[in-house]
Amino acid sequence: MKTRLRPLFTALLSCSFSGLPLLLAFPLQAAELHNAIDAKAAEIEQKVIEWRRDIHRNPELSNREFRTAKLAAEHLRKLGMEVRTEVAHTGVVGLLRGGRPGPVVALRADMDALPVTEATGLEFASKVRTTYNGQETGVMHACGHDTHVAMLMGAAEVLTSIREQIAGSVKFIFQPAEEGAPDGEEGGAELMLRQGAFENPTPDAVFGLHISSNALVNTISYRPGGALASSDRLRITVQGRQTHGATPWQGVDPVVVSAQIILALQTIASRQIDLTRAPAIVTVASIHGGLRSNIIPSRVEMEGTIRALDPDMQKDVHQRIRRTVEAIAQGAGAKAEVHIDLGYPVTRNHPELTRKMLPTLNRIAGEDRVVLVPALTGAEDFSFFAQQVPGLFLFLGGRPESVPLEESPAHHTPTFLVDESGLLLGVRALVHLTVDFLNDPEI
C-alpha cells in the first residue's frame, strides 16, 4: 500500500493552489516529508537570492529597518500568517499554526546593516548614504544580515507549503538592532522580549544562524555551551590635577596613571583567571586626554570592551577591573571611576538541544560538512532569546571554494562578501530543524 501511494504523494506535492503546493490532509512518512521540504526549498532558491540582493541594495541601520520590516511583514501576510509589527520599533513577528496541535519553535533573523561604505563592486552594491554620529558614511550589509532575512523568508514559504504536516506552531522573528541601538535608544532582542515576542505562544526552542565569510560555503559550524562571548562596554575616567608639563610634581598626572591601568588590566586575562576553563578579553580601545604638549591634563577618559565565555567569569572579571583601576589610581593620588555597561550575555547553545539536532544537521549537509568549532569572542544578542528557552545558534559557511581563508574579507569591512550558493542550505537547515524538533520535542 505504501509503495502504491508514494507516486500519489509526489503528484499531489507538484500541484498548486493559489501559488502554494497543495497541502496534504494526511501525514507523510519522515523521508517523504524531508524530500518535499528539499524540493520546495530548491524551487524558491532563486527567489531567496533575489530577496537578498534587494535587501543588500537597500540597507538600513539599527532601529531604522522600515523597508526591510515591511518586506518581511508583507511576505508573511501573503502566506496567511498572523503578523505583528513594530515590535521593538521595527521588529516583525509572524505565527504559523500547523495542521495539528503541538509545541512551538521560534526562528530568528536580524535585519540591520552597518555604517560602512561598500567597496565590493557588486552589481547590487549599496549606494545608500547617511549621517552617523555626526559623520557622513555609507550604509552596508557588512555582516550578512541581508542573507539572514532572505533565508528566513524562504523558510517561512517552505514551512507554509507543508502547514498541514506540522504538529505545532512556528514563530518567525525578524529582529532589528542586533548591532546595537543608536545612543539614547533601546532596541534589539532584549526589547523584543519585553514587548512580548515570546508570548502567546511561548516557544519551546529557538533556532538562529549567522552566515560566515570565513567558513567554507555549504558547511555548518556549531558549538555546544558557550559559543559566543558576552560583550560589555567599559568606560574609565581618571581624575588627576592639572599642572605644567615641566613640573609634574606639582600635580597628579592622569596620563601616567592611565598607562599603568591599561597595562595592569591586561594581567587580568593573562595572570588572574583560569584560562583553561574559558577565555576572557579586556580591551582598552580609545583614550583621550590633554590639549597641549606642555600641559599635564586634569582628566583622561578611556573606553573599551570586556568579553567572556562564562557568566560567572564575566562577573569575576568585572570585579577585578574595578579593584585594579581604583587601587592604581589611589596609589598615585588620583581618583578613578569605572562604568561597565552590560551588553550582550554569553550566547549559550543548549547542550542537549545541540546533541539532539546534530543528526538533522548531518543529514542535510553531510557529516563531513558539519564542523565542531572553538568558541568565538564575537557577541550576538540572540543570547537574550536563548536565555528564555533552549536555543541553538549555528554558523553557515559563506566563503567560496575558490577563496583561501587568508584572503576572505572579514565581517564589518567594506569588502565583505559571501557566496549566495550557500543560502539554500541555510533555508533547508531552518526548516528541517523546525520540523524535526516539532516531531520530537523532548530534550
Task: Read off the CATH number of the domain in which 152 is found.
Answer: 3.40.630.10
Helices (H), 208-310: 254-267
Distance CA 35, CA 10 (A): 10
Say if residue 69 is in the same domain as residue 188: yes
Amino acid at site 270: S
204 assigned to some structural domain: yes
**Is the model's pTM score more than 0.85?**
yes
65 assigned to some structural domain: yes
Q: What is the mean pLDDT of the chain?
A: 94
Query: How much is the pLDDT for 19?
Result: 41
Amino acid at site 187: G
Tens of pLDDT, residue by residue over 118-159, are: 999 999 999 999 999 899 999 999 999 999 999 999 999 999
Say if residue 293 is in the same domain as residue 385: no
Tens of pLDDT, residue by residue over 33-85, are: 999 999 999 999 999 999 999 999 999 999 999 999 999 999 999 999 999 99
Q: What is the DSSP letter of 268?
A: I
Of 23-32, 55-64, 165-174, 295-304, where does mean pLDDT reach its minimum? Answer: 23-32
Interhelix angle 254-267/311-331, nearest 10 degrees = 150
With contact defined as beta carbons under 8 Å apart, do 344 and 379 qualify? yes
**Cell numbers of 199, please?**
508570548
Amino acid at site 9: F
Catalytic residue selected from 65, 178, 380, 420: 420
Torsion 408-413-415-419 (CA) sign = positive
Residues 6+ apart with CB under 8 A from 37: 158, 162, 428, 431, 432, 435
- Backbone conformation region of residue 259, classed left if phi is above 0, alpha if psi is from -120 to 50, else beta: alpha
Say if residue 387 is in the same domain as residue 262: no
Provide the domain count of the chain. Answer: 2
Say if residue 304 is in the same domain as residue 327: yes
Residues 6+ apart with CB under 8 A from 120: 414, 415, 416, 417
Residues 6+ apart with CB under 8 A from 11: none
Check whether 18 has a pLDDT greater than 70: no
Query: How much is the pLDDT for 156?
Result: 98
70 assigned to some structural domain: yes
Tell me which residue has cell 519522515.
Answer: 30
Where a domain ends, among 326, 344, 362?
A: 344
8 assigned to some structural domain: no
Say if residue 357 is in the same domain as residue 338: no
Q: What is the DSSP letter of 420?
A: G
Check whether 358 has a pLDDT greater than 80: yes
- Length of the chain equals 443
Q: For residue 26, what pLDDT band results from cuts at 50, 70 and 90?
A: low
Q: For residue 28, what pLDDT band results from cuts at 50, 70 and 90?
A: confident
Say if residue 224 is in the same domain as residue 237: no
Query: How much is the pLDDT for 8?
Result: 36
**Cell numbers of 111, please?**
535585519
Say if residue 209 is in the same domain as residue 337: no
6 assigned to some structural domain: no
Beta-strand ranges (E) seen in 290-410 are 295-296, 299-308, 335-344, 347-349, 370-372, 391-399
Please indicate whether residue 420 is annotated as part of the active site. Answer: yes
Where a domain ends, among 312, 344, 376?
A: 344
Please indicate whether residue 86 is annotated as part of the active site. Answer: no
Q: For residue 13, what pLDDT band results from cuts at 50, 70 and 90?
A: very low
CATH number of 248's domain: 3.30.70.360
Say if residue 205 is in the same domain as residue 326: no
- Residue 378: give the domain boundaries: 14-229+346-439
Say if residue 277 is in the same domain as residue 327: yes
Catalytic residue selected from 190, 222, 344, 380: 344
291 assigned to some structural domain: yes
**Cell numbers of 317, please?**
572579571
1 assigned to some structural domain: no
Q: Give the residue among 205, 146, 94, 173 at the shortest CA–CA distance from 433.
A: 205
Where a domain ends, among 344, 359, 377?
A: 344
Say if residue 381 is in the same domain as residue 417: yes
Say if residue 395 is in the same domain as residue 377: yes
